[in-house]
Amino acid sequence: MAEFQIGRSLFWRHFRRNRLAVAGGVVVLVLGAIALLAPQIAPYDPAAYDVKQILLSPSWEHPLGTDQLGRDVLARLLYGSRVSLAVGFVAVGIATAIGILLGSLAGFHGGWVDAFIMRFVDLMLTFPRFFLLLTVLAFLQPSIWTIMVVIGVTGWMGVARLVRAEFLSLKEREFVKSAQALGAPNRRIMLRHILPNSLAPVLVSATLGVAGAVLTESGLSFLGLGVQPPTPSWGNILNDGKANIEIAWWLSLFPGVAILITVLSYNLLGEGLRDALDPRLRGSR
């Protein structure tokens, strides 16, 4: 328990020194609060349209303007944050679960189990991910749940490699050898002794993965293969602005800035977590 407290204090001390990571973490928390409170803070119904207020530029009444149907862009961005972040978290959760399962099996058992799983990982990595997503979605009905599952199922390979490498290293440690000598079953050794000690790089990967999933969902929605209208997401708001970019610049600017800030914040937070959790990087600062 004392070692855990010392490790946690070291982590926070090194993390706080990275001002960019702290700033990224603050923005991530603010974005999460905005997504949760969107129904309370949105000034209008994101689906309510008014043909008398089509393509109005930003004003006091509509701070971020209106779209081609007279819908308030600010309200749609606030509700779109819920969709984009939900896709990011759920997709990363699916990818992380699959990666941990396969990576731990490969790293712990080794032999033909490791060879089979890692050759499957190599096979999956030969396909460009975005084109694989387009191919899968071409045969499925686009929806928010489809997007979550497809992004998650096609994004677990990096996590599997990380977990496998950690298991290969940790299973040779003395505390694992001691547990084996005492007759502990493999399942207990994997879940109670090795897995908790291998989750630090997985946490970093998951944080960076949320940024990637948000960006992927936005790209798919921009192409019309992601979240479908009238449900707002940052990607389909950008798609709406594509046809009116010359006369309604705000339809492209504001969702683009929202995507930029979100992706940058999660990347900064992930880099900060990696630096704080890796003792080798601590010593280099």
Across the chain, which has 285 residues, the per-10-residue mean pLDDT values are: 49 83 94 93 88 89 90 93 91 94 90 92 86 81 84 91 90 81 81 84 91 90 82 88 86 93 94 77 49
- Rounded CA-CA distance 200/207 in Å is 11
> Which of the 8 DSSP states describes residue 197?
G
- Rounded CA-CA distance 110/125 in Å is 20
Domains and CATH numbers, the chain: 2-283 (1.10.3720.10)
Which amino acid makes up residue 244?
N
> Which of the 8 DSSP states describes residue 228?
P
* Token pair listed for 218: 């936005």
CA atoms within a 13 Å half-sphere pointing along the CA-CB vector of 271: 14
pLDDT of residue 144: 84
At 159, phi and psi to the nearest 5? -65, -40
- Rounded CA-CA distance 200/209 in Å is 14
> Which of the 8 DSSP states describes residue 192?
I
